[in-house]
């Protein structure tokens, strides 16, 4: 039993360390100051207790998104195609079904604040000094999301026949306000992961991804297995709502799933969550 707990702690520490790499210096410092408290909270499932830490809000929101997709698998009002929800493997979340696979990234802004995501947030690349591969230079949110499919195809952990029969989908989940990202309606409205028409040459995301990294002589198309339109037609930017809204949605889904219609329902749903 102690060995199992140690393995669980190691996995949580590893996941937390990975999360740290995406944060600014001040947020990293906050997590390091409260690291033991955070690990204990994660080990005991008390995720909501961590919401008061600014740096952990994105982590908690990602947990809520994970729970949403897990509960959706048994929610009677929906017939979803996935049979597995995989955390922190190819992406923040990966949904796997008989003939589809969806790679999901979760990106957050401060709930209730004035800041919203902008189109540039989705295509901005970080400068890397010594990346493991040249492909790692293409590290914007959208690039990382869609290139996870290529990593999946190249992986030796999955049988080749199974990989090729799975149609990919790409999703970036965010709590940005519903009124934001009006310039990306092509993607925020792509709820079926299937843009019918070709992606226009002046499309903001397409233009940014196809922009070469001139000082290194690198172009995205030289590292991707598919044409850019293949990926972008399957991209959905999902404005999922605030942390509180997402929490209430999950509680409602659990209440409907357990088929208890009296005052006990909400308490039981919150206990399950």
Q: Which residues contact 214 (CB under 8 A, 6 or more apart)?
A: none
Please indicate whether residue 128 or residue 53 has the higher confidence score (pLDDT).
128
Question: Which pLDDT score is estimated for 227?
Answer: 95
Q: What is the mean pLDDT of residues 129-148?
A: 91
Question: Which pLDDT score is estimated for 203?
Answer: 94
The DSSP letter of residue 213 is: B
User: Considering the domain boundaries, does residue 153 fall inside one?
Assistant: yes
Q: pTM to 2 decimals? A: 0.83
* DSSP-derived pairing of the beta strands 167-174 and 100-107: parallel
**Residue of 193, 188, 185, 187 lying closest to 168 (CA atoms):** 193
User: Considering the domain boundaries, does residue 269 fall inside one?
Assistant: no
Percentage above 70 pLDDT, the chain: 87
Question: Which pLDDT score is estimated for 170?
Answer: 98
Please indicate whether residue 128 or residue 51 has the higher confidence score (pLDDT).
128
167: β partners: 100
Consecutive H or E run containing 100: strand 100-107
User: Considering the domain boundaries, does residue 28 fall inside one?
Assistant: no
Q: How confident is the model at residue 173 (pLDDT cuts 50, 70, 90)?
A: very high
Question: Quick one: 125 exposed, middle or buried, by C-beta within 10 A (0-12, 13-18, 19+)?
Answer: middle
Kindly report the backbone phi and psi dihedral angles of residue 171, in degrees, each rounded to the nearest multiple of 5, phi listed first. Answer: -135, 130
User: Considering the domain boundaries, does residue 173 fall inside one?
Assistant: yes
* Helices 35-43, 25-33: crossing angle, 10 deg rounding: 70
**Residue of 25, 180, 36, 15 lying closest to 89 (CA atoms):** 15
- The count of domains in the chain is 1
Q: What is the mean pLDDT of residues 137-161?
A: 89
Tell me the pLDDT tens digit for each residue of 185-204. 999 999 999 999 889 999 99
Structure-token pair, residue 184: 């990306």
172: β partners: 105, 237
pLDDT mean across residues, the chain: 84
User: Considering the domain boundaries, does residue 48 fall inside one?
Assistant: no
Tell me the pLDDT tens digit for each residue of 12-33. 777 777 777 767 777 788 778 8
| Range of the structural domain that residue 158 is part of | 81-241
Question: Quick one: 247 exposed, middle or buried, by C-beta within 10 A (0-12, 13-18, 19+)?
Answer: buried
Q: Position of tokens 């190819």? A: 90
pLDDT beyond 90 at 158: no
- Residue 210 near residue 220, CB atoms below 8 Å: yes
* DSSP-derived pairing of the beta strands 93-97 and 100-107: antiparallel
pLDDT beyond 80 at 132: yes
Question: Which pLDDT score is estimated for 45?
Answer: 63
Please indicate whether residue 50 or residue 159 has the higher confidence score (pLDDT).
159
User: Considering the domain boundaries, does residue 44 fall inside one?
Assistant: no
**Residue of 100, 93, 70 lying closest to 148 (CA atoms):** 93
Q: How confident is the model at residue 273 (pLDDT cuts 50, 70, 90)?
A: low
33 CA to centre of own chain: 26
Percentage above 90 pLDDT, the chain: 42
Which residue intervals of 109-242 are DSSP H helices? Answer: 119-123, 141-154, 160-164, 185-188, 204-210, 228-232
- Return the ∠ at Cα 237 (arms to 21 and 167), rounded to 5°: 95
Instruction: Report the distance separating Cα 260 and Cα 273, nearest Å.
Output: 16
């Amino acid at each position: 039993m102690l060995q199992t707990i140690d393995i669980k702690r190691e996995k949580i520490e590893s996941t937390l360390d990975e999360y740290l790499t995406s944060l600014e210096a001040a947020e990293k410092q906050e997590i390091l100051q409260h690291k033991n408290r955070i690990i204990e909270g994660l080990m005991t499932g008390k995720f909501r207790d961590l919401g008061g830490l600014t740096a952990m809000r994105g982590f908690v929101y990602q947990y809520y998104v994970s729970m949403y997709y897990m509960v959706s698998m048994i929610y009677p009002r929906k017939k979803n195609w996935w049979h597995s929800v995989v955390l922190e493997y190819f992406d923040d979340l990966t949904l796997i079904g008989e003939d589809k696979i969806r790679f999901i990234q979760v990106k957050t802004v401060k709930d209730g604040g004035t800041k919203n995501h902008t189109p540039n947030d989705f295509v901005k690349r970080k400068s890397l000094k010594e990346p493991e591969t040249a492909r790692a230079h293409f590290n914007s949110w959208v690039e990382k999301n869609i290139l996870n499919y290529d990593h999946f195809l190249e992986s030796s952990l999955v049988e080749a026949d199974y990989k090729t029969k799975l149609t990919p989908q790409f999703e970036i989940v965010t709590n940005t306000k519903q009124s934001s990202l009006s310039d990306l309606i092509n993607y925020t409205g792509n709820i079926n992961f299937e843009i019918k028409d070709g992606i226009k040459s002046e499309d903001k995301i397409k233009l940014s991804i196809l922009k070469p990294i001139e000082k290194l002589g690198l172009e995205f198309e030289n590292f991707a297995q598919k044409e850019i339109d293949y990926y972008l037609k399957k991209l959905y930017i999902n404005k999922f709502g605030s942390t509180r809204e997402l929490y209430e949605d999950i509680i409602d889904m659990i209440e409907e799933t357990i088929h208890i219609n009296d005052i006990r329902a909400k308490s039981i749903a919150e206990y399950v969550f």
